[in-house]
């Protein structure tokens, strides 16, 4: 008899799909059960699990942008995994159970019909604990319409004469916007480099209107489809990363590592499962145009260095960040053996 895991069904697949995928890969669908039985009244902002073994191990995964810790989850769980972990915010009595999940990105777990069905069933099972039904179902549709299976995120040959970068303009994050604009400026300084992309507007936090980002007009770009973004990023000589809202890990960081890219990044603020070392896993810059330009030039011209960054980024992803490896780390943290 395989290990059984009960899953609290109110979760938002926008943030928790990779962990569902990891559970499916490790244990198989037949060993996963969606139920609210045995769980406190959590909302949609977590993925809570009950590992059904002799002692019943309780797992709470927190994948939103904020560094704050959910007090109810801390008290209830035996292990508390946090994406955007700030170790200084962990109360002393909980330090042994809290650990960094590392950066993540959502993946397609269900095809179109299965997504609709799973979303509806989980809404019914949640009984008022999930998001409102339209938003809840839309999140399930979104994991199908705008995301791809995890296996699609694999290394491809990069073009040393081509750089693609496309990112949203955040209404409340001028620091992040400014760094991204400087990446565009640095790329445009290099005459023999074909640059494509820029910044694109996005919805605001307070309404359905779009923030037009007009102050970044010289750097604004057309919108690219999710598939275009993925394929063009695969071809790009480098990927660029910087902390996003409230210094959180960006999805872009985990995606770039899955794709085996040579990553240029400003300093990473939130905790990682293992250090990302300069010149080994990533190339750190201070965010100035000059530092970014120098990094692009070196990675373009030094094939061995680029290959090293690409290979080590993918290895890090496979070791710490892939859906299966993350869930292995969760089980290992509480000493639960995987059959």
pLDDT for 53: 79
Q: Is 191 exposed, middle or buried (0-12, 13-18, 19+ CB in 10 A)?
A: exposed
**Structural domain boundaries in the chain:** 4-150+322-333, 152-321
pLDDT for 214: 79
pLDDT for 209: 52
pLDDT for 211: 61
pLDDT for 338: 84
pTM, full prediction: 0.94
pLDDT for 172: 75
pLDDT for 247: 92
pLDDT for 121: 97
pLDDT for 207: 47
CB within 8 Å of 110: residues ≥ 6 apart:
117, 118, 140, 143, 144
Q: Is 308 exposed, middle or buried (0-12, 13-18, 19+ CB in 10 A)?
A: middle
Start-to-end Cα distance in the chain: 9
Residues lower than pLDDT 70 in the chain? 1, 203-212
And the tokens for 71? 């007090």
Per CATH, the homologous superfamily of domain 152-321 is Glycogen Phosphorylase B; (3.40.50.2000)
């Amino acid at each position: 008899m395989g290990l059984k895991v009960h899953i609290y069904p109110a979760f938002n697949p926008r943030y928790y799909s990779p962990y569902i995928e990891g559970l499916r890969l490790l244990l198989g669908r037949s060993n996963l059960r969606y139920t609210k039985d045995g769980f406190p009244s959590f909302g949609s902002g977590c993925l809570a699990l009950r590992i059904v073994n002799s002692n019943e191990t309780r797992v709470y995964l927190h994948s939103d942008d904020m560094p704050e810790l959910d007090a109810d989850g801390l008290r209830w769980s035996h292990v508390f995994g946090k994406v955007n972990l700030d170790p200084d915010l962990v109360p002393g009595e909980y330090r042994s159970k809290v650990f960094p999940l590392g950066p993540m990105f959502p993946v397609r777990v269900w095809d179109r019909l299965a997504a609709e069905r799973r979303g509806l069933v989980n809404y019914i099972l949640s009984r008022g604990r999930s998001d409102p039904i339209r938003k809840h179902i839309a999140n399930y549709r979104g994991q199908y319409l705008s995301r791809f299976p995890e296996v699609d995120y694999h290394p491809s040959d990069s073009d040393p004469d081509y750089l693609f970068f496309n990112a949203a303009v955040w209404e409340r994050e001028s620091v992040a916007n400014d760094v991204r604009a400087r990446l565009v400026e640095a790329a445009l300084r290099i005459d023999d480099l074909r640059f494509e992309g820029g910044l694109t507007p996005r919805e605001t936090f307070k309404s359905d209107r779009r923030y037009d980002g007009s102050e970044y007009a010289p750097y604004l770009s057309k919108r690219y489809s999710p598939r275009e973004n993925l394929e063009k990023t695969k071809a790009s000589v480098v990927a660029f990363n910087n902390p996003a809202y409230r210094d959180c890990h960006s999805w872009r960081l985990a995606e770039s590592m899955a794709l085996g890219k040579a990553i240029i990044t400003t300093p990473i603020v939130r905790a990682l499962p293992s250090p990302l070392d300069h010149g080994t896993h990533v190339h750190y810059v201070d965010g100035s145009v000059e530092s970014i330009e120098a990094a692009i030039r070196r990675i373009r011209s030094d094939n061995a260095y680029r290959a090293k960054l690409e290979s080590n980024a993918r290895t890090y992803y496979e070791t710490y960040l892939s859906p299966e490896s993350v869930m292995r780390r969760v089980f290992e943290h509480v000493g639960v053996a995987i059959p």
